[in-house]
Chains A and B, each alone.
Chain A
């Protein structure tokens, strides 16, 4: 009975059950300072609406990584609780950036629902609008409140706070890269794989892949630089692979499964798809793409997709996926010296050949 391992569904459920407890801690702190009820309700709604509803893979990864890093012994209840709490800090931290990214990108939908800034204010007919900027700051601050409350007495407290700061900075720089290398419509000079990889590493891969594992490493008292370098060398490429899948699904995924309507073509995005089309297309095809890419018009979009098909991007993606998988597996197998391969294999298994 002691060796009975919880299945994935139970792990997810236990993780999900912790969220209301943590949210209540934030609420209690606000009640202590005699904050108005409507404002407390607003904050609860903001955090709940934007931190839940996803797959929680990033949050779950902290505990799963911790388990892998401590193979051969069962984690204590305290360790499990701390790892799950850190996992929620990761999820809430992500929510902060999703809210602000959606405003900057003028996105319409997130996880099948209107983006937060487009939703109605709690108890009001008015749209949240630009107040969502301050909401994203509040979400971020709540993370540090939770960290102080639950980790202040842990020996690794300062290390995890610093990692949250650094990851935030990396994500912000990634966003800045993305926003300031927005290609001019019809100009393909900044649309290339080097830019795509760099933007992806900073904007997504650090906080989605490296960050949860690094937190588990800190909890395990791992602190030598080489271990973190090794983790980075595997997890950043994994994050790039994940983003390439996202770019592919933006174009070819089903909106019902994917949770949003893809608009990379309309929005002139530096997507892996257009990068590959430029690399593999004929001069005529590239000229047609220059003429039609980046227009919010169904006819132009259809022409772009037709050219993608002519270039056979689906096969190019399938080949890339297999090549990436093999590359990652090879790299993971050589990491035994610093970190157990199971840390990375678990994450890879979740994203390989996903459809959403």
Chain B
């Protein structure tokens, strides 16, 4: 458990609304610190993994296949910061304002939180293959790890099938724990829908890989659409929407309101990621940024094109998208000349103000749901 997660967890505590003792009841769970909540969340992961694995012998799977699935799940599902997963419980706590959650409700919220983590794992394993990435969370990407069964070679393209298995795990867990809940069908539909949205976002990203030096596709409109679909739906909207379903919220306007706030918040988060890819410390962000080398449609290059002089843009066309330290330094130098750090700071402040004003006008659900999320991401330099 790294310091960044603890700092974020501490931030969460500051925003927890005080609970009136008058609303306590015998079925409610004791109030817990953010650290304890995190421990509770982590604690159920082996339980859920076991629910999946224990079905496999009955399906005539040999021991080495079961061991493969187990390792694949452990490597790819746990090990992240789990912010998306934790958001389900945190949102639910705020949505049922006025009462404490029961132990059962907390458990179920955390199960859905893990389903979100599983969903992300499914996409990350596949994305790493398609991007031919090298490392993920400080270790080799799954497809590049040693094949645990054959003594030579890497997992390679078998990882494609593994990503499908990660996806299937989601529906095994949902069926086991939610089959008798009135919102079961809605949960299935929202996972299907979010998967589709994320895949559409990936398609937009894959087909916005222009020839090097061609900047016609690097526009903020293109960028916003990719981010909305590829990241914002599953990272911001899905966890809150699941909590809303658990809270019994069914009105379409409520989900539209959530979408109107959470999708822009997701964009804001991704812009930060793009900024940190270029200016963040590798030791803190957990990876070496390569957006420039890989010719990515990053917010940074979009803004540079919008704000640069024709000479600067021509230089960028010459040097952007080349995996060469000299070219990368030249691009960063031009970013410095254009003043992208200040442009980012201005964007950050404007986005914050925009989001706050939108949140303040919400009447259909507690504003704290969104304020808490925003507080986790605003001015992060992690």
Contacts and interface: CB of A to CB of B under 8 A. Distances in A.
Contact of A134 (B168, B171, B189, B203): B203
Contact of A158 (B185, B192, B203, B225): B185
Given A144-B192, A165-B171, 14 more contacts: A35-B200, A106-B157, A141-B192, A145-B193, A158-B184, A162-B175, A169-B168, A169-B172, A170-B59, A173-B165, A177-B65, A180-B65, A180-B150, A198-B60
Interface string B21-63: 0000000000000000000000000000000000010011110
B181 to A, nearest CB: 12
Interface of B: 56, 59-62, 64-65, 68-69, 126, 129-130, 132, 149-150, 157-158, 160-165, 168, 171-172, 175, 184-185, 188-189, 192-193, 195-196, 199-200, 202-204, 206-207, 225
Given A39-B200, A130-B129, A133-B129, A148 B192 contact: yes
A103 interface: yes
B165 A172 contact: yes
Contacts of A181: 62
Q: How large is the interface on A (under 10, 10 to 19, 20 to 34, 35 or more residues)?
A: 35 or more
A175 B172 CA distance: 18
A43 B202 CA distance: 12
A51 to B, nearest CB: 17
Main secondary structure of the interface of B (DSSP, over half): helix
Nearest to A180: B149
B196 A36 contact: no
A320 interface: no
29 contacts: A36-B204, A39-B207, A100-B160, A103-B157, A133-B126, A134-B202, A135-B203, A137-B195, A138-B196, A138-B199, A141-B195, A141-B196, A145-B193, A148-B189, A152-B185, A157-B185, A162-B175, A165-B168, A165-B175, A168-B168, A169-B171, A169-B172, A173-B59, A176-B68, A180-B150, A182-B150, A198-B60, A201-B60, A202-B59
Contacts of B161: 100, 104, 172, 175-176, 179
A184 interface: yes
Nearest to A123: B207
A10 to B, nearest CB: 34
A348 interface: no
Interface of A: 30, 35-36, 38-39, 42-43, 100, 103-104, 106, 121, 130-131, 133-138, 141-142, 144-145, 148, 152, 157-158, 161-162, 165, 168-170, 172-173, 175-177, 179-182, 184, 198, 201-202
Contacts of A121: 207
A12 B199 CA distance: 32
Contacts of A184: 150
A210 B56 CA distance: 19
Contacts of A170: 59
B220 to A, nearest CB: 15
